[in-house]
Amino acid sequence: MTWFCEPCVANVDNIQQCELCPNKEGVMKCTDSGKWAHMVCALYSEGIGFGDTTRLEPIITTDIPPSKFGYKKCDLCEDERFAYSGLVMECDAGLCKSKFHITCARKLGFLMENTNEDVKTNPFFTHCKVHVDKDIARPKKKAYRLLMEHLKASSNEKLDEQSSLL
């Protein structure tokens, strides 16, 4: 099954931000409230579901109480102004209290997947910089950086093409 980012297919250029985090870049789908959310945020955040679990749409965010948004600080935010926005998750390592936005954790390679098929729990989990396996996080961080560089270059090429048409 081929899958495309919904805002890209719909030619939406001015996405304000993800409903679950303060970041704009990344693959998004429509939520049940008519906004946009990153697929990665939906998959890794507790309490998020999908209206159609086969097509993974819409992302169900209305089941999360509004009090969960913006009340805890993201320990990884690059910009302090956004640290108290969106939904933050805690490190999945026992009693650790580190908190972060899913996309902030993704930038650093902190998102993990359970590859043990015998385990019937959620296959997606997060660790903080203390608990993450650095040998796994390092290539993920590098892959993310390379992806962002590629997307930025592609975006610049698109802008150059549009300006040449003017």
The string of pLDDT tens digits covering residues 99-129 is 999 999 999 999 998 777 766 667 788 899 9
pTM: 0.81
List the alpha helices (DSSP H) in the chain: 6-9, 39-44, 102-107, 134-165
Q: Report the pLDDT averaged over residues 140-144.
A: 90
User: For the ranges 9-18, 46-55, 64-73, which has the lowest average pLDDT?
Assistant: 9-18
- Tokens 């933050």, residue? 88
d(CA 15, CA 23): 10
Q: What pLDDT score was predicted for residue 41?
A: 95
- 47 falls in which pLDDT band (50, 70, 90)? confident
